[in-house]
Structure 1
């Protein structure tokens, strides 16, 4: 089950569950206005039936029946991301196809429809996660993937016309099994860095970017033995203008917070329990409108999501749980409706 989370002082208003049929195997979700009607729409990666599905928002809380676009036989799409790849102010979609070792790019037309996808080969990498950022400072979105099969992170540079370069890959380590990746400037040199959660080696890694858009130095930080960090996010949790790290530790049923010292190093991990719920995905936002960053966590296997309200000093209140129904929650999307 997937639902849209609304911001309203943490008095969450549940949205209809019926539009998304669980039999399709929804694996991830992203939100954007695909038909330019000012209502948020959703795109869902359905890994069982090998497609993505578009749900058009009708009033901010209800959605149309899905329009499905195939991602290819045996593609097993895992993660979707939304961005403008052609600089035409129209949203496009990228999807990581775990089964066919590829990235599918669907270019938007602006009326809610999408062109037939272009498939970008990723070798034998098994991409399991995707994020979008401008890694080489050319104002064009690039694609970054975490690759389960080759234990690597790959970057595909965007050309601004919907096409991308061949992937440049960086090793995450033997048996690291990188599960997610995010970007931020962690050493305050005005160059984007990469941060990776390595579920196989119980750590997070930072690859420090340089002027050329490549990476030279790296920092490895333990998340504790058996923690299996599955998801990572970035934000300034103590309002010191430095990018901090939050990680969902699936194996230890905890989230971990790493506060940035401002020089590319981090304070020791501080953890918060998710109450025996397997923390699967983590995200950041101001959910109670107090100008302090909070955290949201999906808990796989327990049918709930968790909120940790931030105090603005790097610490968080104890967990608040909200039921999502009988099925496990593995993905979420945030959008201010």
Structure 2
């Protein structure tokens, strides 16, 4: 599929009431004709699903409770029970659990089942992938309170078993990603942390276990978000990280020995908080997009294909954007953005026109306090 240019239409806003959505996720949940969006709602302790119509608009949300005082922070999707229906996994920070909502054939979801991550563990983010080469999806969790990364291996029926936790020492982890950094066909983990000036890589053995921590300096006390891509087209994976305390995005280019070059920093004003990677101007070069929570903006940096990026282009989102996801929401072959805005309880959709402008804002409510969109 080909996506065009680096410009976007005016934004459409979806109301989430007082849900305070903090995280947002975009995927095909019910069928393969329109992309849907999911929010983790910190304020109402729930997850909301907006089913897409394929024209850039969305249905009123279907909302599923995640439990009293659960305070969900993140949501991801995958087929966890191999029934060809997409399921959801939710990081419930307040109740120290990972919640699983299994998808039904009619587009609804089952009541949440939970797996404990341990007392005071406070799970913060999730990633889904094949961690032990058995064709069953597994989950990696960052536990902010326990300062570790936890591996949950899938049983293929929608349940999971604990494999192991990996201590990050003094680091309080935020974001986690799954990729194959050393090109051995085994999935590895990467995590961002607060308080250590490092990002962390754990190389996988292919059986669900991982090696010792490998640390890479970022020069930032608070590195809070990571996205993976091949920015210089050399077959090695690179990383884009948000350095919150220095208000910058760092680009770390991968080397053959599973290390990274010293990062190149690009200033991002307005308290950057979340990063995503995609080809937003259809030139086959990866670009990055960043939400700036205090600046009420979205920054796009276009990639040159050699590991460097343009100066940021800034687009207004409205109050306190949190997370960002992307997809072709109106079926015009151009990538669009969706942003969760926690403190005004809305989700904004920014449709790509191909000329640098955004569509007029349309609002969709998620209920009180939506937290995350993925």
Partner of 1:317: 310
Q: Distance in 2 between matches of 1:28 and 1:22?
A: 15
**Aligned 8 A contact 1:44 1:54 in 2:** yes
Give the TM-score taking structure 2 as reference length: 0.84
What are the equivalent positions in structure 2 for 1:251-330 lying under 5 Å apart?
A: 251-274=245-268, 276-325=269-318, 327-330=319-322
Identify the range of structure 1 (204-213 vs 279-288) with the bigger mean alpha-carbon deviation. Answer: 204-213
Does the Cα contact within 8 Å between 1:40 and 1:60 map onto a contact in 2?
A: no
For the 8 Å contact 1:91–1:110, the answer to whether it is kept is no
Could you tell me how far apart the structure 1 residues matched to 2:52 and 2:30 are?
Answer: 10
Aligned length: 327
Find the residue that maps to 1:295 and give its secondary structure.
Answer: strand
Give 3-state SS (helix, strand or coil) of 2:156's partner.
Answer: coil
Q: Give 1:224 deviation, angstroms.
A: 0.7
Q: How far apart in 2 are the matches of 1:33 and 1:210?
A: 31
Are 1:168 and 2:164 an aligned pair?
A: yes
8 A contact 1:247–1:257 mirrored in 2: yes
* Equivalent residue for 1:245, pick from 239, 242, 254: 239
Q: Distance in 1 between matches of 2:299 and 2:312?
A: 6
| Inter-partner Cα distance in structure 1 for 2:229 and 2:84 | 26
Structure 1 residue 186, shift from structure 2 partner: 1.6
What is residue 59 of structure 1 aligned with on the other side?
54
Structure of higher RCO (CA pairs closer than 8 Å, 6+ residues apart): 2
Kept after mapping to 2: 8 A contact 1:126/1:148: yes
Instruction: Tell me which residue corresponds to 1:141.
Output: 137
1:112-156 residue CA offsets vs partner (Å, 9 max, x unmatched)? 200111111111210011111111111111111111100000010
1:247-282 residue CA offsets vs partner (Å, 9 max, x unmatched): 0111111000111112211111111111x2211111
Q: Residues 39 and 293 from structure 1, CA distance in 2 versus in 1: closer, same or farther, beyond 3 angstroms? A: same
SS in 2 for 1:332: strand
Which residue of structure 2 aligns with residue 95 of structure 1? 90
After alignment, is 206-215 or 105-114 more displaced?
Answer: 206-215
Structure-2 residue corresponding to 1:334: 326
SS in 1 for 2:18: helix
8 Å Cα contact 2:220/2:245 also seen in 1: no
Distance 1:259 1:235 in 2: 9
Unaligned stretches of 5+ residues in structure 2: 330-374
| Alignment equivalent of 1:232, drawn from 226, 230, 243 | 226
Paired with 1:133 and 1:14, the residues of 2 have a C-alpha distance of 34
Q: Work out whether residues 196 and 206 of structure 1, in 8 Å CA contact, stay in contact via their aligned partners in 2.
A: yes
Q: State the alpha-carbon separation in 1 of the partners of residues 239 and 255 from structure 2.
A: 11
1:8 CA displacement: 4.0
Counterparts of 1:167 and 1:13, CA distance in 2: 45
Pair 322,87 (structure 1): closer, same or farther in 2 beyond 3 Å? same
Partner of 2:216: 221
Does the Cα contact within 8 Å between 1:109 and 1:115 map onto a contact in 2?
A: yes
Asked whether the equivalents of residues 229 and 247 of structure 1 are also in contact (C-alpha less than 8 Å), the reply is yes
- Structure 1, unmatched stretches of 5+, are 1-6
